[in-house]
Chains A and B, each alone.
Chain A
Amino acid sequence: MMRAVLVATLLALTGCAATAERDRRDPFEPFNRGVYRFNEAVDDVVARPVATAYRDLVPEPVRDRVRNFFSNIGDVFIGVNNILQGKFYDGFEDWMRVVFNTTFGVFGLHDVASDMGIEKRNEDFGQTFGWWGFGPGPYLVLPLLGSSTVRDGIGTGFDLYFDPVAEVRPTRARNALVALRVTGTRADLLDASRLLEQAALDKYVFQRDAYLQRRRSLVYDGRPPRERYEDFEDNPRK
């Protein structure tokens, strides 16, 4: 249902323009590019300057603890998603991480679980849907949230709905936490976005393809079935 509404909205927005040579994975490219430009503008004016100031002004050990703190909260639903994917042992380990990091790690400020050899995992609802067999669907660029797909966008909806930070009251405390988390995340990406500028001929395409590759890898927990490169008779490697 949600998917149908989303798709219908998108179709309306893009006017269903049928353009030749469009990437099959990205049927809404003109719309997506519009949102991408909007996101870039917001990033230029707000997110990147704030994140840069955060990185320059806040010492690294403090930023590490901020990251650990939110990472620890995130582990609760990483565990839930592992359970939903039938990976009970992994889910159990994720929750053990929460137990150790919340207690010995002082409310998650220290990632003692990693030091003990219980590694952090990367899961979310989008990956769970993928694990269940849902394909990614068309690529989407979401306002402010960035790269996504229909499946992952719905997943993000669930992620946000169950986000423990959203339950924090009073609202002002919640907003401060959300702002801190976003700032820290963007700060961690400063080097990456500089690299994207350097690497890409067309940033939009480069980021999209990287996102789709990355998500595919994550759904398969880093072991996706291998896609062979086509071999050419005159491939210099041969």
Chain B
Amino acid sequence: MTNPMNIGFGRAWLAAALLAVAATGAVADEPRREAPDALVRSVTDELVALISKDKEIRGGNRARLLEVIEAKVLPHFNFAAMTALAMGQSWRQASPEQRKHLVAEFSTLLVRTYASALAAYSDQRFEYRPLRARPTDTDVTVSVRVLQSGAQPLAIDYSMEKTGSGWKVYDVMVGGVSLVANYRTEFNNTVRASGIDGLLKDLQAKNRAGEPPPAPGRQ
């Protein structure tokens, strides 16, 4: 009756956000030098252990969850690259000042989305795929799969790039859906209709509206 794609997508989101959060280091001020796949793996395990134990997070403390994400996720994502890729052609029109604000607003939006996904974590198991890359590669895809009962395993692919401060994620593909590419139409539509400042205003309004109400009826 229902489109099977929807299940995949739904759980995909969850797992993606989870892993996106997980693909982060524990020590923010000291970039890790691990191989990208080892980084994803160690941090996923670490983060899963952490959120399963933290009573406040399990009890729905969003502030605490956001705190953890900001400490551990932000350093491992290249939000400037993510914003530029999501903006596509429109990125060129933005002034340096506008770019700074766009990156700030977009990263807030992404972090909150990760927080929503992470809050829904319930004992999914992960399977780490061997990294297919040469040691000299500076742009790799790290693949993880989420195993789920009665559904196809879900693929999460991290596009990662080597930078001076360690490997950084610049896109997450969940079940074949690129997070960055998925914002592109929305962003371009808004820019076409109301300019870069219009998009900034929309993002700010979205972020200020803040967290979705945790009311039980509204899931």
| Residues of chain B lying within 8 A (CB to CB) of residue A236 | 78, 80-81, 84
Count the A residues whose beta carbon is within 8 Å of the partner chain — how many?
Answer: 68
Chain B residues numbered 14-60 whose CB sits less than 8 Å from any CB in chain A: 14, 17
CB distance from A96 to the nearest CB of B (A): 16
Q: Are B2 and A210 in contact (CB under 8 A)?
A: no
The complex places the Cα of A233 from the Cα of B114 at a distance, in Å, of: 30
| Residues of chain A lying within 8 A (CB to CB) of residue B11 | 188, 191-192
Q: Are A191 and B150 in contact (CB under 8 A)?
A: no
User: Contacts A160-B1, A185-B6 given: A209-B176 contact, CB under 8 Å?
Assistant: no
Q: B120 contacts the other chain (Cβ, under 8 Å)?
A: yes
Q: Are A218 and B5 in contact (CB under 8 A)?
A: yes
| Residues of chain A lying within 8 A (CB to CB) of residue B180 | 229
Q: A148 contacts the other chain (Cβ, under 8 Å)?
A: yes
Q: B192 contacts the other chain (Cβ, under 8 Å)?
A: yes
User: Contacts A189-B10, A237-B170 given: A215-B5 contact, CB under 8 Å?
Assistant: yes
Mark A residues whose CB is within 8 Å of B: 21, 23, 48-49, 52, 60, 64, 67-68, 70-71, 74, 111, 114, 119-122, 124, 145-148, 152, 156, 160, 163, 178, 181-182, 185-186, 188-202, 205-206, 209-211, 213-218, 222, 224, 227, 229-230, 232, 234-237
Contact residue among A120, A195, A200 (Cβ-Cβ distance under 8 Å from B150): A120
Task: Pick 24 A–B contacts, CB within 8 A, sort by A.
Answer: A21-B189, A21-B192, A49-B217, A52-B216, A71-B151, A114-B149, A120-B151, A122-B5, A146-B2, A188-B10, A189-B7, A189-B10, A192-B11, A193-B219, A195-B117, A196-B13, A201-B186, A201-B206, A213-B177, A214-B12, A230-B89, A234-B92, A236-B84, A237-B85
Contact residue among B113, B147, B153, B216 (Cβ-Cβ distance under 8 Å from A198): B113
Q: B136 contacts the other chain (Cβ, under 8 Å)?
A: no
User: Contacts A145-B2, A195-B116, A235-B84 given: A217-B14 contact, CB under 8 Å?
Assistant: no
Chain B residues numbered 70-125 whose CB sits less than 8 Å from any CB in chain A: 78, 80-81, 84-85, 88-89, 91-92, 109, 112-113, 116-117, 120, 122
User: Contacts A181-B1, A237-B161 given: A213-B178 contact, CB under 8 Å?
Assistant: yes
Count the B residues whose beta carbon is within 8 Å of the partner chain — how many?
Answer: 62
Q: Are B175 and A214 in contact (CB under 8 A)?
A: yes
Would you give the 0/1 interface string for B178-219, flagging 1 where the beta carbon is closer than 8 Å to chain A?
101111111001101000000000110010000110001101
| Residues of chain B lying within 8 A (CB to CB) of residue A202 | 186, 189
CB distance from B17 to the nearest CB of A (A): 7
Chain A: interface secondary structure?
Answer: helix
Contact residue among B1, B117, B161 (Cβ-Cβ distance under 8 Å from A185): B1
The complex places the Cα of A237 from the Cα of B152 at a distance, in Å, of: 34
Would you give the 0/1 interface string for B121-132, flagging 1 where the beta carbon is closer than 8 Å to chain A?
010000000000
Q: Are B185 and A205 in contact (CB under 8 A)?
A: yes
Q: Are B150 and A67 in contact (CB under 8 A)?
A: yes
Q: Are B176 and A181 in contact (CB under 8 A)?
A: no
CB distance from A82 to the nearest CB of B (A): 13
Q: B4 contacts the other chain (Cβ, under 8 Å)?
A: yes
User: Contacts A48-B219, A198-B112 given: A189-B178 contact, CB under 8 Å?
Assistant: no
| Residues of chain B lying within 8 A (CB to CB) of residue A232 | 84, 91-92
